[in-house]
Structures are given as C-alpha cells and as structure tokens.
Copies of this chain bind each other. A is one copy, B any other.
C-alpha cells in the first residue's frame, strides 16, 4: 500500500506518465500557516535538472493544493496536493512491458499486478512519486518547526568519497540552515568537486553511482516514541524503506557500533545546564525506541540509479527467452543529492507521528 501513518496519515497516488501524481495528508494540525516558499524550495531540491537549486519553482511540478487549506492556513481537514504530469515521453518505454529493466520494479510489478501495472516510466514505482512525499514532508517539517524541531541532511558519501559526519551530540542551527538551502548539501564542501567528478565519470561511462544520506533531527524532547514495534526506529525505517532505492537504514553509529565495545558504545549521561544529555551519541538519540533528547542521527543507503544506458542482460517475458536490453533516454547518473530532501521529508513525516 502507498499509505502510511497513524496520527498523521499520508496516501500517495499517481504514476510517472499518468495524468497526475499527488498525496492526501490526513491529520495535519489546524491553524498552520503554510510557508509556500519553503515548499517550493524543497520540491526544487528534489526536482531533476542540472542545477535544481537555481529553479526552485518549476511550473511543471507545481503543487496544486485542492483541499485542507483556506487562505494559506490549514483547516485540519485532509490536504490533497496534486501535481500534474507534463512533458512525458511515453514512447521511450515501448519494449519494457515484456523486457524488465534490471534493478527496477518492472518484473516484480508485472508479477504482483498480473501485467496490468502501468510500466511507463516505472509507473507507480517511479522515483517521481517522491515529489508528493516531499510536499507532505515539508508540511510536517513546518509543523515540527513550531515545536522547535529541525531536520537536515547531507551527502555522507557518493561511491567511496565521504563527507565529514554530523557531530552527533551538537548540531549547529547555522549548519542546519545552510544544508537546508542546498541541492547538493555537504558539511565539508571541499569534497563537492571530487563527488561531482565521480558522478560525471559514471555518466560518461553510461553508468551510475550510489551513496549515503546522513540525516539528523534536533530539538526533540526526551520520552517520545514507544517500546518495541512502535519505537522511533521502527516508525522511521518503515517509511524510509518506502523511498525507492533505499537498501539500508541505520541509527547512531549503526553498523559500525558492532565493532565497538560496550564501554565505548554506551552513551554516558551527564547534566548540562540542568538537562540530562549524553556525552556521546552512538545510539542516535533513541534508546528502547524512545527519544533521549539528543539529536536523532540516521543514515540511508541509496543504491546506484537502476536506469543506465548500457546494454544489460534480461528476459523477454512474452517469449520466455533470455535477451538484452538497452534503455534510451536521459537518466540521472546519481540521485543521491536529490534524495537528501526526500530522506529529510520521510523523517519529518515519521517524527510528526510522535506528537
């Protein structure tokens, strides 16, 4: 299902080459004055294009708010946002119906939906469906902002080129604000040229690269969440793995915590200005599924773009024979930078369900 949530529910609809994509968000608090510039900025950060940050308001992806907002203020009723699809080139996808693209959901969708799925541009499985997710997430962020919660992310890695990590115990507001403006967000901007060169190299080789997004949330009070299956990590990961191309999710020190000793990984408590904090934050702000009050730190692994224009081995489902496939069209050799705001949005939707 393309629905998620409990207190705030989202229901995403649409296909890459259909009439429109969009989302219904149910449970948004009434009286929230929407910051449309912020919405356009975030949707621009996700939108494809050479330098997306420069064109924040692409008419093609204009969010059309159909309900739930009156005079720019939320009413509490469900918000439906529709984004019309334009400039879709369906003819590019002719032979995909029977020749599934490796790494895509063409084959699994074909089996799941008995061949009735809309294959054009990936249909409902398209990365384009993250546009309404960013819309919904940005509204949730604005709701969280009123509670002092801020979210930011950066490109932790592209291939094997790494940015500096967040300081897990203290994340400056200025850093958050700087990252929030960027379509290629980095803590250490010195690695940008090297990352871009790697992406360009992949493009020249008709190939693609993946990477890791590190995302944080600050300002959360301690005591949010629930034990076991409705813990913060469960909530967050269940929406994160709904983002196409995510193959791993970790919190705090994540997989590397397995290489530590307990005496290192345990985050000692101490008082600072009358408030309980931890000196380290290997648990990423979450213990027993419940927030500690320290920043939430998480990382999502983004696989290399599945659409590459090299010849690939596949099958022909109609003839039941092995064959090859060469996908035409312009493809993004690296979606990691565009994924940053998607991960932030997904985190925001998860966290707003804690209140």
Cβ of A193 within 8 Å of any chain B Cβ, yes or no, is: no
Copies of the chain in the assembly: 4
Q: Contact at A308–B248, with CB atoms within 8 Å? A: no
Cβ of A166 within 8 Å of any chain B Cβ, yes or no, is: no
Query: Which of A53-61, A145-153, A179-187, A231-239 is near enough to bind chain B?
Result: A231-239
Known: A207-B262, A287-B103. A77 touches B239 (CB 8 A): no
Cβ of A274 within 8 Å of any chain B Cβ, yes or no, is: yes
Which A204-224 residues have C-beta < 8 A from chain B? 205, 207-212, 222-224
Q: Contact at A108–B290, with CB atoms within 8 Å? A: yes
Q: Contact at A250–B301, with CB atoms within 8 Å? A: yes
Query: Which of A43-51, A170-178, A264-272 is near enough to bind chain B?
Result: A264-272
Contact of A266 among B102, B266, B270, B322 (CB under 8 A): B102
- Against B, the Cβ 8 Å flags (1 = close, 0 = not) of A28-45 are 001100000000000000
**CB proximity of A159 to chain B, nearest CB, Å:** 6
Known: A9-B1, A159-B259, A227-B2. A248 touches B254 (CB 8 A): yes
Q: Contact at B259–A160, with CB atoms within 8 Å? A: yes
Known: A253-B247, A283-B247. A210 touches B258 (CB 8 A): yes
Q: Contact at B80–A13, with CB atoms within 8 Å? A: yes
Known: A73-B116, A266-B103, A310-B263. A108 touches B222 (CB 8 A): yes
Contact of A270 among B117, B240, B322 (CB under 8 A): B322
Q: Contact at B209–A67, with CB atoms within 8 Å? A: no
Cβ of A242 within 8 Å of any chain B Cβ, yes or no, is: yes
Report, as a range, how many residues of chain A touch the other chain.
Answer: 35 or more
Cβ of A261 within 8 Å of any chain B Cβ, yes or no, is: yes
Known: A3-B3, A234-B238, A289-B242. A209 touches B262 (CB 8 A): yes
Chain B residues with Cβ below 8 Å from A111 are 222-223, 290
Q: Contact at B1–A229, with CB atoms within 8 Å? A: yes
Cα distance A320–B79 in the bound complex, in angstroms? 31
Cβ of A125 within 8 Å of any chain B Cβ, yes or no, is: yes
Chain B residues with Cβ below 8 Å from A121 are none
Contact of A258 among B102, B157, B237 (CB under 8 A): B157
Interface CB pairs A-B, < 8 A, 27: A13-B79, A14-B67, A15-B67, A15-B68, A19-B65, A30-B116, A70-B116, A75-B113, A76-B114, A76-B116, A103-B262, A103-B267, A108-B286, A108-B291, A231-B242, A237-B237, A237-B240, A237-B241, A241-B289, A247-B251, A247-B255, A258-B301, A262-B305, A266-B306, A269-B314, A271-B320, A276-B317
* Interface, chain A (partner B; CB < 8 A): 1-4, 6, 9, 11-15, 18-22, 24, 26-27, 30-31, 64-68, 70, 73-80, 82, 100-105, 107-109, 111-114, 116-118, 123-125, 129, 157, 159-160, 202, 205, 207-212, 222-231, 233-235, 237-242, 244, 246-255, 257-271, 274, 276, 278-279, 282-284, 286-292, 299, 301-308, 310, 312-315, 317, 320-322
